[in-house]
Structure 1
């Protein structure tokens, strides 16, 4: 017994005519008759009573029709459910980013994208760059965001593109003498107390020694950006951070640094051997367009 036989049986029961049923089903009448004969043989009952060209469904047939209808309906529901699941899967974008980028860059990136693509759903995770690269390699995520291309030669299947550069700025309390200045030199900060962000990995920790050329007086090393900002707002010290939209300028003043400091680079990476869905491709193109608009697009396809 198969679904085709059940479908044939249902149409014949409805039309009560083999010729009409064969036309509706686009099969020959002999093939239709043979299929029903095999079904009756398997069930060991007559489903139809034949009187020349006229046929009537038997009592056995009426009973079996209820179950055949239910079976066909369940199969159709199953097919529709699979299509729904497929559509939902196509709308999901899985992203992993380093902890710093996950707290600063990613929220605004996704918010802006969703303003034009509300059907998209995101699965988000923060982890180390090494974990991101491994997850991209084994297709556990669609896209990764990180700030360094170290060890990329070990992942030839991953394509990485520079999409943004973020500058470093100085943040000070509103009542600090430097709060009214537009820019400041690092040399002028030697006597200040500093709050230093201590990231979950070496790549995310800002090295004041490397940036400033000397070792400043560091009085606290929080591992969360909100704590760092709170300490600065309270007047405990000042800090050098990335210039991101999350800075609350109601309690903190942002001062440009006159010295020529390097930028924080942000890359998007994906596995170039994995076929992306329509929504995933739209997101990738959106991010790459952002890079082009920022005039920093830099292809880092490692072969």
Structure 2
């Protein structure tokens, strides 16, 4: 069995006609028939059966086609990986993160690393945690950043490290009656209007009801972090957010929360079986070191 036999088999299965397949593949019909015969001899089953002038794939052929497709896809991915490596791609880092981490954490970690590595180039995407793990598994990205490691047990080739624990804080507009407070209990916010961050990629959303113990008055649910901060700054409401440098303290007051509501854990993951370059190792070491 070889790669060419699998390619012939796939095209014949799709066209259900040897003549059409031979035209597509630029191969003679006798050569196609011989290749399929060899494949059937090795598998010890019939992959096709005659149906008038056309052919019909057998149940054995249907079962084998799924694996042939997967094999051809993986070979193509391997070819693309080699081509990317050959195209002087050594200094390109591909990163994916959940949206909330992408907004609050990634810009700072990238900018700090870039200051000491001016030759590096970043490809950055925001995705769900499940999509990040899949892309790490198939080598489509170099590093992923996420806050949920529940599915890590299903990906034996992916290694991850806890990078940062970020606390939650309350943000209010500068003219708010709580703006001058340094700390506050959540029970004291019962009469306030909240702005809630609604993000499909944020795996661990803040549930105000769970945190406060009652259903608060939610005025708006923006899907962008910048819009949430803008609404708070404009006086539309208050919000519980991650305590990061992205908060504009010129327009917003940051208040610590006395209640123990935990942290957001930020993890970095990578595929330990993937090819690694000097710049990738440097980035991984840099992120791991800042977590210590």
User: What TM-score, normalized to structure 2?
Assistant: 0.70
Aligned to 1:180: 180
Following TM superposition, where does structure 1 have runs of at least 4 consecutive aligned residues deviating by more than 2 angstroms?
Answer: 84-88
Aligned to 1:215: 215
SS at match of 2:246: coil
Q: Verify the 8 A CA contact 2:158 2:270 in the aligned structure 1.
A: yes
Matched, 1:190 2:190: yes
Q: Please report how far the alpha carbon of residue 99 of structure 1 lies from its aligned counterpart in structure 2 after TM superposition.
A: 0.8
Correspondence list, 1:249-268, <5 A: 249-268=249-268
CA-based RMSD:
1.8
Q: Please report how far the alpha carbon of residue 211 of structure 1 lies from its aligned counterpart in structure 2 after TM superposition.
A: 1.8
Deviations 1:134-169 (A, max 9, x none): 000001111000001021111011001101011000
CA separation in 2, counterparts of 1:137 and 1:117?
A: 27
Structure 2 unaligned regions, length at least 5: 1-81
Q: Verify the 8 A CA contact 1:198 1:204 in the aligned structure 2.
A: no
Deviations 1:245-283 (A, max 9, x none): 110011110000011111000000000111210000000
Aligned to 2:236: 236
CA separation in 2, counterparts of 1:130 and 1:162?
A: 18
Q: Verify the 8 A CA contact 1:198 1:206 in the aligned structure 2.
A: no
Structure 1 unaligned regions, length at least 5: 1-81, 293-303
User: What TM-score, normalized to structure 1?
Assistant: 0.67
Q: Please report how far the alpha carbon of residue 201 of structure 1 lies from its aligned counterpart in structure 2 after TM superposition.
A: 3.8
Q: Please report how far the alpha carbon of residue 87 of structure 1 lies from its aligned counterpart in structure 2 after TM superposition.
A: 7.6
Q: Verify the 8 A CA contact 2:100 2:202 in the aligned structure 1.
A: no
Deviations 1:3-42 (A, max 9, x none): xxxxxxxxxxxxxxxxxxxxxxxxxxxxxxxxxxxxxxxx
Q: Please report how far the alpha carbon of residue 85 of structure 1 lies from its aligned counterpart in structure 2 after TM superposition.
A: 7.3
Aligned to 2:39: none
Q: Verify the 8 A CA contact 1:182 1:255 in the aligned structure 2.
A: yes
Correspondence list, 1:142-181, <5 A: 142-181=142-181
CA separation in 2, counterparts of 1:96 and 1:201?
A: 11
What is the aligned length? 211
Deviations 1:150-207 (A, max 9, x none): 2111101100110101100000010111100101000111111100000114625311
Deviations 1:74-104 (A, max 9, x none): xxxxxxxx9x974831111110111111111
Cα 1:135–1:85 change in 2 (3 A) is closer
SS at match of 2:118: coil
Correspondence list, 1:1-303, <5 A: 86=86, 88-201=88-201, 203-292=203-292
Q: Give the structure with higher Rg (CA).
A: 1
Q: Verify the 8 A CA contact 1:101 1:145 in the aligned structure 2.
A: yes
CA separation in 1, counterparts of 2:212 and 2:158?
A: 34
